[in-house]
Amino acid sequence: MSRILFYLHNDTFINGYRWHGCFASDLAQVRLYHIDNAKRGVAVDVIEGKALQISDAVIACQLDGKGGLIPIDDKEIIHCEKPCWLHLNYTHRESADWLASTPLLPDAVRSALGGDSMRPRVSRLGDGSMITLRSVNLNSESRPDQLVVIRIFISDKLIVSTRQRKVFAIDEVLTDLQNGNGPVNVGDWLVELCDALTDHTSEFIEQLHDKIIDLEDAVVDQQVPPRGELALIRKQLIIMRRYMAPQRDVFSRIASERLPWMSDDDRRRMQDISDRLGRGLDDLDASVARTAVLADEISTVIAEAMNRRTYTMSLLAMVFLPTTFLTGLFGVNLGGIPGGGWRHGFSVFCLLLLLMVLAVGWWLRRRNWLWPVQPGTEERAQKRQ
């Protein structure tokens, strides 16, 4: 059996023993931890391909450094030129067992990748970084504002990403790799993923913007939207604002920090993504303000509609008030009612009531109470008087 020597530069552990400045000869035993200020971080000089074999992994591949991907070979030695990418569903048993037992990840990363962290954030852990991001939910039977979480541990040799619900931005990165025009290194991979996440966020913000425009047009036409529609849009805006603001800060921090596995071009692109997401946040703030104005306008439209109905009922009561008085007066069962013995009395009484209704209607119309007042009508009525 062939044996290869590896020089261990830092304090490391092999089978429970500390090694420093020594040689390790068995490749299968190289599972190293670097202890720094009592915090455990990754300092693995080499990674075996067979240590990354997970049966239920969603994605397990190796970047070929040319924009494509290659399968992970058991005997492959992972290095910076051809880093590995593992994308796992942490609810699957094999993936959960690997996350809990692999020596390739720091202890602090295991719990984070397993679903503890929810809010967008980035933290440095040894030679790698732990990143938590949010994505618009494009899964069927789910609302886009029910954001999905993707957690990433990334170093110069290894990318481990986890999720529970499907993240479509991951599929876009994988499709680019399969087509040969994907990322060539870990920094490029992170930039492309963040770019895809921001694209989906911008599209959803644009959809919310279009919905608000439709509501504004409907309110202008005196149409009240269905109950709860505006409240749902406002809720989606607030949720997006809550999680995308810290995500913008994450992008900005990644662009500003001198991460060893990111080039200057990657940092510039990441800053552009952060700026683009910042413009989306400005649109969210403006949309929240517009929904507040919309709510006031909808309340005004409803109040005006109620006032018109009340006004109409009041006019009807005014029109029929004299006739109601006369019918009540002539309906008493007492002797001496005029026309009680005349055979044309009822017809003449009905004609009198009709004339009275017409007279009241004419008076209301002359006073501009019966129909909406047109511009200048009131001034002309005052001149006629």
What is the torsional sign of CA 276, 197, 121, 40?
A: negative
* 290-to-208, 224, 297, 301, 350 alpha-carbon distances in Å: 11, 16, 10, 16, 56
Q: How confident is the model at residue 108 (pLDDT cuts 50, 70, 90)?
A: confident
Alpha helices in 179-332 (DSSP H): 186-220, 229-256, 264-330
Are the C-beta atoms of 61 and 53 separated by less than 8 Å?
no
% pLDDT > 90, the chain: 43
* Count of all residues that appear for the chain in the document: 385
Closest CA to 125 of 138, 139, 141, 113: 113
Q: Which CATH number fits domain 31-297: 3.40.50.620, 3.40.50.300, 3.30.460.20, 3.40.50.1980?
A: 3.30.460.20
- Ranges 36-50, 148-162, 307-321: which has the least confidence: 36-50
For residue 40, pLDDT over 50 is answered with no
Measure the N-to-C terminal CA separation of the chain; round to a whole number of Å: 117
For residue 39, pLDDT over 50 is answered with no
Return the half-sphere exposure (C-beta side, CA atoms, 13 A cut-off) of residue 224: 14
Alpha helices in 56-185 (DSSP H): 93-101, 107-111, 168-178
Q: So what's the pLDDT on residue 318?
A: 80
- Integer Cα distance of 240 and 224 in angstroms: 25
Residue 122: strand pairing partners: 131
**pTM, whole model, 2 decimals?**
0.73
For residue 2, pLDDT over 60 is answered with no
Q: So what's the pLDDT on residue 79?
A: 61
Strand pairing of 59-63 and 33-36? unpaired
Q: So what's the pLDDT on residue 102?
A: 87
Q: So what's the pLDDT on residue 43?
A: 43
- Integer Cα distance of 76 and 32 in angstroms: 18
- Taking only the tens place, the pLDDT of each residue in 124-167 is 887 789 999 999 999 988 899 999 999 999 998 889 999 999 99
Query: Residue type at 37?
Result: N
Q: So what's the pLDDT on residue 65?
A: 87
Q: How many helices and strands, by DSSP H and E, does the chain display?
A: 8, 15
- Ranges 145-154, 240-249, 341-350: which has the least confidence: 341-350
Which helix (DSSP H) or strand (DSSP E) does residue 354 occupy?
helix 345-366
For residue 108 the two structure tokens come to 């602090």
Task: Convert 53-89 to b/e letters by CB count within 10 Å (16 or more is b).
Answer: ebeebbbbbbbeeeebbeebeeebebeeebbbbbbbb
Q: Rounded to the nearest 5°, which phi and psi values hold at 353?
A: -65, -40
For residue 112, pLDDT over 50 is answered with yes
- Ranges 32-41, 236-245, 269-278, 328-337: which has the least confidence: 32-41
Angle at 248 between CA 285 and CA 244, to 5 degrees: 50
Q: So what's the pLDDT on residue 75?
A: 65
For residue 92, pLDDT over 60 is answered with yes
Query: Residue type at 49?
Result: G
C-alpha 212, offset from chain centre = 16
Q: So what's the pLDDT on residue 42?
A: 41
Q: How confident is the model at residue 78 (pLDDT cuts 50, 70, 90)?
A: low
